[in-house]
Amino acid sequence: MREYRPVPLDWERLDPEEALARSRAFLASMRRRRTVRAFSPEPVPFELVENAIAAAGTAPSGAHQQPWTFVAVTDPDVKARIREAAEAAEREFYDRRATPEWLDALAVLGTDFVKVHLTGAPVVVVVFEQATGPDGRKHYYAKESVGIAVGFLLAALHAAGLVALTHTPAPMRFLRAALGRPANERPFCVIPVGYPAEDATVPDLERKPLDEILVQVGPTE
């Protein structure tokens, strides 16, 4: 049985002007973040990936069980096998399983079953959700916790000057066998990471404005 052991909070109150400046700078940086599907073959300093994953590991999780595993793949042969299996699953999705409404929703992204990014990116991070611990004990709110950690990861990669893509081939069961992960881990998503190709393009999209995503209840100072 784990027990509650409190320690002092390590926290520093920012000057209001500095807090606002940091907030605005972070927002401006994140507004430039885009999903990229065309990667440069240029190698990435691996410490950038390590630091981003370490940042993801600081995310909050249900009961602090940290139910995540991040597998960073740089081996070309392994990436090729992942791509082959992913494209087989995606071809089935686009040809048979996707509804017309789903295909219509994807049309603005210009995607298809060909997943060049899985071999084109120098690093492919495969994120696994741990349904239980190694001892078989249930992990609570595992999916929600891993989703938050992935958000941290994407922000950290962007802050390091890297680009990424969240990819969820369906089904993803092949990833566990391809990477030799234990039965308590379930594939959550695949994140190719690197620098953008010189001719990289992105869809012409607009994000929802603040007044469409924020609901204010109560007074503000």
DSSP β-bridge partners for residue 163: 194
CA distance 107 to 122: 27
SS3 170: coil
CATH number of 35-198: 3.40.109.10
- CA angle at 91 for the pair 73 and 82, rounded to the nearest 5°: 15
> CA gyration radius for the chain?
20
Mean pLDDT for the chain overall? 95
User: pLDDT tens-digit profile of 125-181?
Assistant: 999 999 999 889 999 999 999 999 999 999 999 999 999 999 998 889 999 999 999
Q: Closest Cα to residue 178, out of 47, 77, 104? A: 77
- Model pLDDT for residues 68-96, shown as the tens digit of each residue: 999 999 999 999 999 999 999 999 989 99
What pLDDT, on the 0 to 100 scale, is given for residue 44?
Answer: 97
